[in-house]
Amino acid sequence: MDNIDIEPIPDLPIKVVPSFEGGQPVSGWQVALGGGISYGPVYEGAADSRVRFMPLIEATYDYGKFFISPLRGIGYNFSDNRDTQYGIRLTPGLTRRESIDPRLNGTGNINFTPEAGIFFNKIFSPLYISSGINTGNNGTHAELGTGVSFHVTDIDRLRLGINLDWGDTKYIQTYFGVTDAQSAASNNVLAPYNASAGIKDYAVTANWTHNFNKEWFGNGGISYKWLTGSAEQSPLTQQDSMIRVTYLLGYRF
């Protein structure tokens, strides 16, 4: 899993992969397959970055209401209005292995855990807002985003947005805190650190979708993120700002 990136594409409403953009959803199954690469920090707050594979396996059913994919989880949109989305979803929580960076020595692994959540998104063309709350064994976190989305040409769409992420004490402590046991395991290289709830980061994002034809499409995204609060002050944070670039090539059927 260390070489696979399943973090959602930045700044898409409910993290929707644009599988069927430019076409009408249908009552049956629609599928998009493909993949690409992402370049970003080895973990949030790391000084080093790396390239990872990014899978695209996207399936929707019932006019797109039911969705399943590694990038946005499994969920259902209860809205019949294409400009409004609200529903429930089950997503994979962020994992982390201490072996990916020397700074994490002694912190242990953060293993896979599912997160249950709700989402609400609204389009006021060309403006939109996106929001969601997820909770799991590692705590609760919420995201809020807004931006503009518009067609540059008949086959190209550009999205520009801003986002923020908030986490409760358990969530921020899981990813940025250092317990006494972890400090001892690091041979006291890491000082104990108790993180607290608050806004974890802000980000500005850009995302471009190009439809080569009805089947093939490409999606490129870039985000620039600033850690803040307890995340920024954590002894695990080597760099409080980071860039992430993604590119996906997909086929719809």
At 193, which CATH number?
2.40.160.40
| Separation of alpha carbons 180 and 117, rounded Å | 31
| Structural contact between residues 175 and 94, judged by C-beta atoms closer than 8 angstroms | yes
Residue 2 lies in a domain: no
The closest alpha carbon to 173, from 145, 146, 137, belongs to 137
Residue 185 lies in a domain: yes
pLDDT digits (tens, 9 = 90+) for 111-151: 988 999 999 988 888 898 889 999 999 999 999 999 998 89
| Separation of alpha carbons 145 and 100, rounded Å | 30
| Separation of alpha carbons 15 and 157, rounded Å | 15
Residue matched to tokens 């599912």 = 114
* Total number of domains constituting the chain: 1
Residue 4 lies in a domain: no
Q: What residue numbers bound the domain in which 141 lies?
A: 13-252
User: What Rg, from alpha-carbon coordinates, does the chain have?
Assistant: 19
Residue 1 lies in a domain: no
User: Which tokens belong to 249?
Assistant: 């090539």
pLDDT digits (tens, 9 = 90+) for 150-205: 899 999 999 999 999 999 999 999 999 999 999 999 999 999 999 999 999 999 99
Residue 3 lies in a domain: no
Residue 25 lies in a domain: yes
